[in-house]
Amino acid sequence: MKIQDLEVFIVGNPPPTFGGRYFIFVKLTTDNGITGIGEVYDAAFSAKAMKVMIEDVFETHIQGTDPFHLEKMFKNVYGRGYSQRPNPTLTAVIAGFEIAMWDINGKALNKPVYELLGGKVHEKLRSYTYLYPKGGDAYVDTDVYYNPDVAAERAVDYLKLGFTALKFDPVPFGTFDPRQPSLEMMERSEQFCKKLREVCGTKADLLFGTHGQFTTSGAIRLARRLEAYDPLWFEEPTPPEMPEEMALVARQTTIPIATGERLSTKYEFKRVLELRAAHILQMAISRVGGIMETKKIAAMAETYYAQIAPHLYCGPVEAAANIQLAASVPNFLVLESIETFGGFYGALVKNKIKWEAGYVIPSNEPGLGIELDEELARAHPYTGKALHLVPVYDPII
């Protein structure tokens, strides 16, 4: 069995745009007709540029190869151009192909991917969601992100659905981060935690999400104001380049530190673990290098008593890959979901992701357990120029 053909789907995500402006899917087909679907997650380049990169890697390293030779593929692509270092754009391309190859392999053996990763450990997976605007557009209706009263109202809606963990990020992030948080920023963050704790009580964990906005001292100052509300985690309090600084934050707060969505490969996660910078790792499978790379990181984390909470601000194929991985990992903590995987997001896959009362139920179908609705995907091409996720460029927020 050899990989023969590639098709790339750049799918526009219509309002409410939960999960991003667009999704990049890759479809591989073997010479005996088995297909596999993967997803590429890169936020630094346009979708048009990413398509060219994907096709270039396919022609050089993927076409004509055995889909079971995952390690060989990873090493050859990772070392192309004699770079051999973590590059989130390159590892995102690797991940897209690697996920599709796992999907092919599972179908060839008539087994879910988790059975090829050591077997299913968890029958169901606890999930959390961001607080998203009700009936609005994620990029337009922003009150839920910055108004604690609106956030508390939305939290009640999610509690009724069955969620037992909710994430929120009340501080804007930008290209001039890290910065010292203003008193207004810290007050708003504390009010978010206060009002959400009031409505959630002990029914749901609070996940304080940030994206490296703060200096080390600023993160410590903010953490001390949030400790009274006992969040399950303080996410990426400082930028990803210097885990040594994040480790200083971890030593100064009782809130567990989570990080990882912007890290690439086991090598960057190794530094986080050795420095004790975080004990909750949030690998983005479609950026970090794929399912096997994530499994290796999870195994490393297990030796430090660290847990994993796979990141998801991407499409339903990465969501399916997260589920396969999480089902096979003993040190799994919680899974990010895009609400309950409904709407256009859920319609993109024919075998729906099963979400019940706060939990995702892993599929017993072979491969990733989902099939892309190719007709729907082709009917919604992304033609815009904006990146998947755009930060604030003004140095004053």
Does residue 211 carry a catalytic annotation? yes
Q: Which of 211, 279, 380, 388 is catalytic?
A: 211
Q: Which of 61, 122, 279, 311 is catalytic?
A: 311
Does residue 61 carry a catalytic annotation? no
265: left (phi over 0), alpha (psi -120 to 50) or beta: left
Active site residues: 211, 311
